């Protein structure tokens, strides 16, 4: 835009702002920022970025506001500059476009037509005026805007078609302005203006919503906001939460939302099919109650505020947990709590006992997992497939066609409820646990037992690692608990050893019975962790450290004992014998604890063998469980809660209008071609035949006959100009030659 007033700096600034290169630069930066905002999760707690990217990059994200790109001051400033720049571009070019809209350029010189690529000439057997009127009428009937100009040397026919192409420029650029303005109105700009002008500030504390001071609340008349509203079943709320960098703001609503019922419908596989909320809107001013239903993509609207179904959460479900001891000193017990609450525990007795805090974090009633490859131990090798075979056709087909094609097989199964909790020590360090209520069948082998999954992880970014406890014939973990307690009792171990030796050898060979008793007692003591075993040099870091001892128990203790006391050449055979003795002794110990509990003995079949194999592995892994107890979900009473997004978005209509302008503008610029046609018609004198008299023959040597009178023709020059050269333009020019000049194709 040319500015004829102001200083030279002002004129240069306006020229820069209204230039296309400046607008394209701004759009490039906005695109890059949008990519960052899409790839990087927005408005996450700082600890999440630290865990995922490290402290350095987390600090970079915070300082550059990359974790809140769309509300960052620099992003809003770029949007504002883009609005100004595009508006100046429109202001600079619109007058010229409008002036050129009705201008047919009939004053063009006839000599200039020779420079056009599409040009043709022809002689017409009619006067220039008659030809001009005929050509003009033909163009008008074809939808051209036509103007005739009479000159001293002839007639100029000027026509134009596709003028809407230039309007597409105005529409597309106006769309950018409208979309940016709508985005600014619906963004944080208004909220930040209130914080700056009205003394509002973010709230960083805790406690009840009713206790938050007015300085952290926005009024009901706030023109634009987008906040979250959590409502539990049977309760109502009228205060939404606006997440802001460094804290939150409370948004008062002109009504209260009461959640009557939260509805979840599932497919047969357990996958969710529908989320919906039956609500009642309570008008604060009139007291009117308006029932409504909110579904995903089907919001409710009241007083200019739209209520969307955003997600769902736990509304304070009550759970009953059963403690499964993982340490010898622990005893089974039950504890009740509420999701979102916590309980205090003591690891041990006396003043030196470790204090723990049990935090109930989540209850999930439905858990859908993929069991397609659950039965495969080692992929293609276990299935007998030839891993060297390459099926090119199958490889191509899996990458073509519908987007829902996948090379991964899916066998979705609902494995039932689960509970998540954290155990926090006195120093504030916590581990996260996820335990399933029901035993899970991991494969299709009927002999393998279902197992209880006890998951644990150190950090939120880590996957869960699971302790697998087999379900006994009563579908419980009681056999595991009783057997672990019996392993910690020397008297119980001694009776199991004597029972195993008596059944294996009998009373007629006392010398072998004593050897077997000693071996079984040693194996069971090592497995129980009550007898120390030297750590081998290979695990201790060298021969000098081989005298160190460790009483961890499990199969690792037996392995360490074998490596330290048995020559390498004999370890395989001795290990097989010792493991067989251990399994037999544990089976007898299991039979003893079941008898003491009044339960039926285990049958001698393949199912019992698979159960005992998994039970040995679970007992071996239990000492490494990073908590003195695991809590299994025994009972629960679910209370659902809906998370609504409440929004007052006046810029939405502006954005919709901008989108319509953008569609129209792009369509006009891409699919409408501006064409101009000029036809110059000038009189031309040609040779005629004698009129009113016959021709006289002069003989072979006589003079040529003379002409009695001249006849008038018209010389026509046609030229076509288009803003884009296309094949359609070539065809259209040939058609115009035929219709206007009667020239052959």
Per-residue pLDDT reduced to its tens digit, 487-505 = 988 999 999 999 888 888 7
Q: Hey, which CATH number is domain 203-223+225-315+641-648, 1.10.287, 2.60.98, 1.10.3470, 2.40.10? A: 2.60.98
- The answer to whether 363 and 314 are in contact (CB under 8 A) is yes
pLDDT at 453: 93
The pLDDT confidence band at residue 387, using thresholds 50, 70 and 90, is very low
**Which of 351-365, 391-405, 550-564, 587-601 has the largest mean confidence?**
587-601
- Reported as a single tens digit per residue, the pLDDT across 69-78 is 887 888 888 9
Most confidently modeled of 39-43, 359-363, 414-418? 359-363
In the chain, where the domains are located: 8-100, 104-162+673-687+711-745, 203-223+225-315+641-648, 321-347+354-374+411-471, 478-601
Please name the helix (run of DSSP H) or strand (run of DSSP E) that holds residue 639, with its range, or none: none
| Contact of 490 with 530, CB cutoff 8 Å | yes
Query: How large a percentage of the chain has pLDDT more than 70?
Result: 84
Alpha-carbon gap, residue 175 to 662, rounded angstroms: 5
Is pLDDT of 434 > 90?
yes
Confidence of residue 431 (pLDDT cuts 50, 70, 90): very high
Tell me: pLDDT of 745 over 50. Answer: no
The model's confidence at residue 266, banded by pLDDT at 50, 70 and 90, is confident
Query: b/e per residue, 525-544, with b = 16+ CB within 10 A?
Result: bbbbbbbbbbbbbeebeeee
Q: What pLDDT shows up at residue 37?
A: 87
Determine how many CB atoms are found less than 10 A away from the CB of residue 207. Answer: 8
Predicted pLDDT at 397: 59
219-245 tens-digit pLDDT:
888 888 889 999 999 999 999 999 887
User: Is the CA virtual torsion 534, 535, 540, 542 positive or negative?
Assistant: positive
Per residue in 673-708, pLDDT tens?
899 999 999 997 554 433 333 333 333 333 443 333
Question: Does the pLDDT of residue 355 top 90, yes or no?
Answer: no
Q: CA–CA separation, 534 vs 547, rounded Å? A: 6
CB 322 within 8 A of CB 634: yes
Among 324-338, 475-489, 578-592, where is mean pLDDT lowest? 324-338
Q: Does domain 104-162+673-687+711-745 have CATH number 3.40.30.10?
A: no
pLDDT for the residue numbered 716: 92
Q: Mean pLDDT for the chain?
A: 83
Per-residue pLDDT, 178? 92
Q: Where are the beta strands (DSSP E) in 139-285?
A: 145-151, 154-161, 217-218, 225-232, 236-244, 247-266, 272-283
Task: Give residue-wise pLDDT tens across range 132-161.
Answer: 999 999 999 999 999 999 998 899 999 999
Residue 519 to residue 540: CA distance in whole angstroms: 25
Instruction: List alpha helices for 274-397, DSSP H.
Output: 380-383, 392-397
CA Rg, the chain, in Å?
Answer: 44
- What is d(CA 651, CA 227) in angstroms, rounded to the nearest whole number? 16
Indicate if the pLDDT at residue 402 is higher than 90.
Answer: no
Q: Tens digits of per-residue pLDDT, 616-636?
A: 999 999 988 999 899 999 999
Strands 640-648 and 305-314: what pairing?
antiparallel
Q: What is the pTM of this model?
A: 0.66
Q: What pLDDT, in 10s, does the model give residues 163-189?
A: 888 889 899 999 999 998 888 888 778
State both tokens at 168.
């597409």
């Amino acid at each position: 835009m040319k500015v004829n007033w102001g200083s030279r700096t002002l004129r240069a600034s306006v020229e820069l702002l209204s230039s296309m290169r400046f607008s394209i630069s701004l759009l490039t930066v906005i695109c890059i920022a949008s990519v960052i905002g899409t790839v990087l999760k927005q408005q996450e707690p700082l600890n999440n970025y630290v865990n995922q990217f490290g402290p350095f990059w987390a600090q970079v994200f915070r300082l550059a506001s990359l974790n809140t790109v769309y509300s960052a001051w620099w992003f809003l400033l770029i949007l504002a500059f883009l609005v100004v720049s595009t508006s100046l571009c429109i202001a600079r070019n619109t007058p010229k476009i409008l002036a050129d809209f009705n201008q047919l350029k009939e004053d063009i010189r006839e000599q200039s037509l020779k420079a056009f690529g599409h040009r043709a000439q022809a002689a017409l057997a009619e006067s220039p005026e008659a030809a001009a009127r005929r050509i003009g009428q033909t163009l008008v009937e074809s939808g051209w805007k036509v103007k005739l100009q009479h000159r001293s040397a002839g007639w100029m026919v000027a026509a134009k078609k596709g003028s809407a192409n230039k309007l597409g420029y105005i529409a597309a650029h106006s769309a950018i302005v409208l979309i940016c303005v709508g985005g600014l109105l619906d963004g944080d700009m208004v909220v930040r203006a209130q914080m700056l002008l009205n003394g509002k500030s973010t709230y960083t504390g805790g406690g009840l919503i009713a206790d938050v001071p007015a300085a952290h609340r926005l009024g009901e008349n706030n023109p634009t906001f987008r906040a979250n509203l959590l409502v539990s079943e049977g309760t109502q709320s009228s205060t939404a939460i606006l997440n802001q960098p460094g804290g939150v703001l409370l948004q008062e609503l002109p009504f209260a939302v009461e959640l009557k019922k939260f509805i979840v419908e599932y497919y047969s596989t357990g996958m969710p099919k529908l989320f919906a909320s039956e609500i009642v809107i309570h008008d604060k001013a009139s007291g009117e109650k308006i029932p409504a239903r909110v579904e995903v993509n089907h919001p409710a609207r009241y007083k200019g505020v739209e209520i969307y179904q955003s997600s769902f959460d736990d509304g304070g479900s009550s759970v009953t947990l059963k403690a499964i001891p993982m340490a010898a000193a622990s005893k089974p017990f039950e504890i009740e709590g509420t999701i979102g609450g916590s309980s205090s525990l003591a690891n041990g007795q006396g003043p030196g006992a470790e204090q723990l805090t049990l935090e109930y974090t989540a209850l999930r009633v439905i858990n859908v997992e993929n069991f397609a490859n659950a039965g495969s131990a080692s992929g293609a090798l276990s299935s007998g497939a030839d891993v060297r075979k390459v099926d090119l056709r199958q490889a191509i087909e899996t990458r073509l066609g519908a987007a829902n094609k996948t090379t991964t097989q899916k066998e979705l199964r609902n494995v039932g409820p689960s509970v998540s909790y954290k155990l926090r020590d006195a120093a504030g360090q916590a581990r996260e646990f996820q335990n399933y209520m029901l035993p899970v069948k991991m494969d299709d082998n009927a002999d393998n037992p279902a197992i209880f999954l006890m998951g644990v992880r150190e950090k939120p970014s880590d996957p869960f690692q699971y302790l697998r406890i087999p379900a006994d014939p009563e579908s419980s973990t009681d056999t595991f608990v009783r057997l672990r307690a019996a392993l910690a009792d020397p008297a119980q171990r001694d009776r199991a050893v004597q029972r195993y030796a008596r059944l294996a050898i009998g009373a007629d060979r006392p010398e072998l019975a004593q050897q077997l008793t000693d071996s079984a007692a040693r194996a069971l003591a090592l497995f129980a962790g009550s007898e120390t075993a030297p750590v081998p040099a290979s695990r201790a870091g060298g021969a000098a450290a081989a005298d160190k001892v460790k009483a961890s128990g499990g199969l690792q203790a037996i392995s360490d004992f074998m490596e330290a006391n048995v020559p390498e050449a004999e370890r395989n055979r001795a290990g097989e014998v010792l493991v067989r003795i251990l399994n037999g002794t544990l089976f007898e110990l299991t039979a003893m604890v079941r008898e003491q509990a009044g339960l039926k003995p285990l049958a001698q079949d393949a199912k019992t063998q698979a159960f005992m194999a998994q039970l040995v592995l679970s007992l071996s892994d239990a000492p490494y469980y990073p908590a003195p107890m695991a809590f299994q979900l025994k009972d629960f009473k679910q209370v659902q809660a809906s998370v609504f997004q409440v929004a007052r978005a006046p810029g939405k209509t502006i954005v919709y209008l901008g989108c319509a302008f953008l569609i129209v503008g792009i369509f006009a610029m891409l699919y409408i071609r501006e064409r101009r046609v000029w036809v110059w018609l000038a009189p031309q004198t040609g040779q005629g035949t004698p009129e009113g008299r016959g021709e006289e023959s002069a003989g072979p040597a006589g003079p040529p006959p003379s002409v009695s009178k001249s006849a008038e023709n018209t010389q026509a020059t046609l030229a076509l100009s288009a803003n884009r050269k296309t094949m359609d333009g070539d065809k259209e020019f040939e058609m115009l030659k035929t219709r206007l000049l009667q020239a052959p194709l």
